[in-house]
Amino acid sequence: MSTAQPTVVVTGALGGVGQWVVDRLAGDYEVVGLDRCLPPGDGPEGASFFEVDLTDQGETSELIASADPDAVVHLAAIPDPTGHAGSRVFTNNTESAYNVLDAAGRAGADVVWASSESAYGFPFADRVLRPEYVPVDESHPLRPEDAYGVSKVAGEAVARATARRHGVSVVSVRPSWVQYPGEYLTGQNREAFDLDELAARSTADPPDGGIGNFWSYVDVRDVASMVEAALDADVSGHEAYLCHADENYLGVDTADLFDALFADAPPCDTEGDESAFTVAKAERDLGWTPEHTWREAADEEVDGPAFG
């Protein structure tokens, strides 16, 4: 009987999230990391790396086929619509998603890939968009207007097509604003926040101070643990899962925030500072819950991976 470990391909392996995912999976999997460049030093034991342009279908297909993976984790993308032309963001993200997921499907590999809460359209909108209800779940309509959010909706369409065509499972993880232990950026918004000022401002102004994603966040370690949980779970076809911390990063009642933000606030079924996005589906299907909170992790000293 073979005792070989399963193989997982991880794209964006040297990125902020990618390094944590590679580090978590190495040991239980033979990890094949793909990125735009090679790491300057050695990665963790059990991981190998290849340089690739994921918008090149030939390169992508060759490397994934040669790895013969049991699973593929697709994390590579331009992570937001700022700093690039929208056309570049959309083209890069959709082409790479298609190339990676199609190659994974042809290899018979299950897929976990990083979609985004931006698929709903809230984070990068030109105005504050009102959700239909709170907490937002996976069934809430996806209405992005920016190139990044639209690229994630397109990616989820590719995910559904891949699952149908090739009979593999595809999990679309929709993470919130990712934070790193000891380096949380949420504190800047919390220190600048004033509830009375929020109530006085016009909702026609561009979103700022975290309003775009309604003060949500997630620790990178929780993203990595959801990827692992999704790889281990028995998922059929395509499923999407939100990946958020349990609470907002302000420590203010979420219902009060929405009452201040909107004259006609959406129904808000939350208690205290519970997140405006619910991860109940991930808890039910994947057995996953977030473990980290800004109250401890913002100043936590953690030796994270450093091979990127």
Query: Given this model, what pLDDT does residue 170 score?
Result: 98
Q: Which helix (H) or strand (E) holds 171?
A: strand 170-175
- Whether residue 126 lies inside any domain: the answer is yes
Query: Given this model, what pLDDT does residue 1 score?
Result: 41
Q: Are 207 and 121 in contact, with CB atoms under 8 Å apart? A: no
pLDDT along the chain (308 residues), means of 10: 81 97 96 96 90 98 98 97 95 98 98 98 92 98 97 98 98 98 95 89 57 95 98 97 98 96 95 98 98 96 87
Distance CA 42, CA 26 (A): 13
Distance CA 292, CA 233 (A): 21
Find all residues with CB under 8 Å of 27, minimum gap 6, and list them. 44, 45, 46
- Whether residue 305 lies inside any domain: the answer is no
- Whether residue 253 lies inside any domain: the answer is yes
Query: Given this model, what pLDDT does residue 11 score?
Result: 98
In total, how many domains does the chain have? Answer: 1
- Whether residue 85 lies inside any domain: the answer is yes
Cis peptide before 135 (omega within 30 of 0): yes
196: domain range? Answer: 7-297
Give the pairing type, strands 178-179 and 30-35: unpaired
Query: Given this model, what pLDDT does residue 264 score?
Result: 93
Residues recorded for the chain: 308
What is the torsional sign of CA 29, 36, 167, 163? positive
Q: pLDDT digit string (tens) for 132-185?
A: 999 999 999 999 999 999 999 999 999 999 999 999 999 999 999 999 999 999
Query: Given this model, what pLDDT does residue 123 score?
Result: 94
* CATH number where 162 lies: 3.40.50.720
What is the torsional sign of CA 135, 136, 137, 141? positive
- Whether residue 306 lies inside any domain: the answer is no
Q: Are 165 and 266 in contact, with CB atoms under 8 Å apart? A: no
Amino acid, single-letter form, for residue 96: S
- Whether residue 302 lies inside any domain: the answer is no
Q: In Å, what is the CA distance from 71 to each residue of 26, 30, 119, 168, 230?
A: 13, 11, 24, 10, 11
Whether this prediction's pTM lies above 0.75 is answered by yes
Distance CA 56, CA 36 (A): 12
- Whether residue 217 lies inside any domain: the answer is yes
- Whether residue 304 lies inside any domain: the answer is no
Return the structure tokens found at 31.
């990890």
